[in-house]
Amino acid sequence: MVKKRKRGLPAGKKGSGPDSASHDASRNREYVSRQSSPAIGFRERLEQLSPYGLWIEAGLLLIILAVGLLVRLEDLSDWRAQPDRALYHGEPLLTTFDGYFYLTLARDLAEGTYTPVDEKRAVPDNPKRPFPPPLISVIAAGAAKITPFSMNWIGAVLPALLGLLLAVPLYGLGRFYGGPVMGLSAALVGLLSHYYVYRSSLGWFDTDCMNVTWATGAAYCFLKFGVEKKRRRYLYFLGGLIAYGLFLWWWDSTPQIVTIVSLLPMAVALVFFYRPSREEGVLFFSLLGGGAIIVFSILGWDLPLRILDKALGIFSYIAKESAGDFPNTGLSISEQAVPGLSEIISKTTGSVPAFICAGAGMVWLFIRKPKASLFLSVPLAIGILSFFFAKRFMIFLAPMTALGIGYLISGIWEMRGKYIFSAFAAPVLLLFLVWPSFSKDMSKTFWPKEPPHLVAGMDLASRKTPPDAVIWAWWDHGYPMQYWARRGTITDGTFHGPQLVVYNGIPLATDDYRLAANFMQFYVARGKSGLGQVYKAHNNDRGAGLALAKKVLSAGPEKAGEILNTAGLRPQGELQTADDWLRFFFPSEHRPVYLFLDWRLTVTSYWWFWLGSWDVDAKDGIHPVYQPFFGVRLKGKTAYNNAGIKVDLSKGLAKVEKGMVPIRNAVINDGNQVKMLDFKREKGLNFELFAPSGFAALEDGHIANSVFNKLFLRHVGPGRYFRPTALETPSFQLWEVHGDTLQTVIE
């Protein structure tokens, strides 16, 4: 009898016998357990996605860029709905005064009229134009040549596109400090920071839309140069130098600040991180030193001292320090105002929780990675300046708050291995923190600084004045006037130093028509240096020198000779005698002069009148009382509007929001004649009304008798000195100015 041999189990079924049954059951239970456990299942799903990580990151980054573009362009729908506030002849206007400087250069580049000297700026000095032209203007000019879009559309849309590029260095920095989650979170938060959106949005054609990008880009490149160990570190070093060079080209008006902001991260990398081999280090520092020698040989060995001196001068300007005999212009500029904490929070993160999280995240980052965080010290320090000096620095808080929130979110995300809810908490918290900013970005509309009705006046000036005319306008209109009117100005967004703004305001604030006309004529011919000669001839006493100039110009050439004979002026070059000085003060040759008055002067009188009435000896001017009203109707003896003013012209009482105001004098211009009412009061304000357009003002005696007010509200100007070219009160007025000359005395 043959025994049956037991057959072995097939290899594929090994372990399926009775001894392995319990093992299979256990494995099945584990499988079922994994399927039924949300935590383990979620982790496995995340692991399954890991091969597609870069694609997912790229997709999320594109979504972030799309959201950033949305909040920057959504104002366009409001602009089209209210074209009278944003569009001129169907084309968009800019939301910043300074943007017209770069847009003018771009237009001239596109038209082939970019000349070495700019005859429209800082008349009569006419400074040289920047060479090479600013990068933003070059990009716009190139876009105008290769696309069908007009320069106005390019100027409006380009900053919104360029503003998105901040996401690139933020993503890179975030990925280095905390991985992809931090990089994506930082990019999203940075692009939604409200103040940065404001200054990189539709119409903000200025360098702000890329300043932060270049600064953080240079920091990222030098960071990677410092931490990389392989030779590709030098590619990052080269990238940092390229970012520095492009930053110089971009923000060419302040190369000193650009140098400090860009090269300090390089210094951090060299001091704390760069540790090459001996041979590699010798070669690198030899090349770096040779390059530095070439730069210093060309630009001067005192270059570092000049950079520091200029930087301190800029700091003095933003700190509103005393400018000596004349006031610091920064006091009158809104973006130079010091914001409160609530404003900083509102315009950076949009909410207190988000601001706290940003601060906590940044502190956490500096604690955990103190050396690597030093690369962020420069933009962080600039952002902190906004707390103490000016709100314009808040754009540098955008990358800092973004990286702070990003680091916090990434820290929570990294805990998902231990606490599965962290995987849900991180994105939910991120959306919670960015929603206030996103909501504010979508609901807030940024309108152009120069409304269409003012631009119409500038455009009219291009047709009603000679090509070589100079338009005397307040300095914030300088760049727009150069663009729309294509005419010269004496001041603008660059040339508005302490002396210039005082000179700019003198013809507006004085009550003397003759002084106003002669001063404008004199300045257009002689400029700031001309008054400087007067000061030198008067023992460098600016107070006495300016007072003498006003006295001479007010007296006119008929009586000025007597004043000059007794003034005791010291000879200055060709100015040897009183007759020489007389010809100097009343030039026979000068460019045509026009005075541009406008609506904005009615709402900024607190500052321009203070500057125009500046007393050099007292170191102060007069802040007037001037409250404009629009839509005022005159019915019998009552003037009123729907906004809260009612003036009883029979009793001389005005009812306003704050109560009853006694009226000393009333001036009513019905378009045909000017009627004056005297209520015989020693105290009170003056009331003036230009009835045809319904524009009125409550004012004190200082500004009531100013040349500005007499021309703007009363339309009263001696034809000898002021001749109306266009009167569109309260939008704008254009007056032809004629000063005295020696020829007029002979005649």
List, for residues 86-101, the tens digit of each pLDDT value.
999 999 999 999 999 9
Cβ atoms within 10 Å of 323's Cβ, excluding its own: 17
Exposure b/e, 554-576, CB count within 10 A at least 16 = b: bbbbeebbebbeebebeebeebe
Which tokens sit at 318? 């933003």
| Whole-number Å distance between alpha carbons of 149 and 111 | 14
- Looking at the chain, the whole-number percentage of residues with pLDDT higher than 90 is 69
- The rounded distance, in Å, linking the Cα atoms of 209 and 196 is 8
Q: Does residue 303 come out as left (phi exceeding 0), alpha (psi in the -120 to 50 range) or beta? A: alpha
8 Å CB contact between 685 and 654: yes
The 8-class DSSP code of residue 682 comes to S
For the chain, how many helices (H) and strands (E)? 32, 15
User: Which of 191, 214, 240 has its CA nearest to residue 382?
Assistant: 214
Q: What b-and-e string marks burial along 373-386, b requiring 16 or more CB atoms within 10 Å of the CB?
A: bbbbebbbebbebb
Summarised one tens digit per residue, pLDDT across range 692-721 is 999 999 999 999 999 999 999 999 888 899
Q: Phi, psi at residue 638, to the nearest 5°?
A: -125, 135
3-state secondary structure of 660: strand
**HSE-up of 714 (CA within 13 Å, CB side)?**
19
Find all residues with CB under 8 Å of 414, minimum gap 6, and list them.
Answer: 178, 179, 181, 422
pLDDT, position 14: 41
> Any idea what the Cα angle at residue 212 is, between residues 342 and 144, rounded to 5°?
120
Q: Which residues contact 587 (CB under 8 A, 6 or more apart)?
A: 521, 522, 525, 526, 741
Q: pTM for the complete prediction?
A: 0.85
Residue with tokens 């692991």: 47
- Whose CA is closest to 410, among 65, 228, 171, 216? 171
pLDDT confidence of residue 36: 43
Instruction: Write out pLDDT tens, residues 30-87.
Output: 444 444 444 445 555 555 555 667 888 889 999 999 999 999 999 999 999 999 999 9
The string of DSSP codes covering 67-111 is HHHHHHHTHHHHHHH-HHHHEETTEEPPSSSTHHHHHHHHHHHHH
Helices (H), 228-348: 233-250, 255-272, 278-299, 303-318, 341-348
Low-confidence stretches of the chain (pLDDT < 70) are: 1-52, 311-323, 331-332, 334-336, 744-747
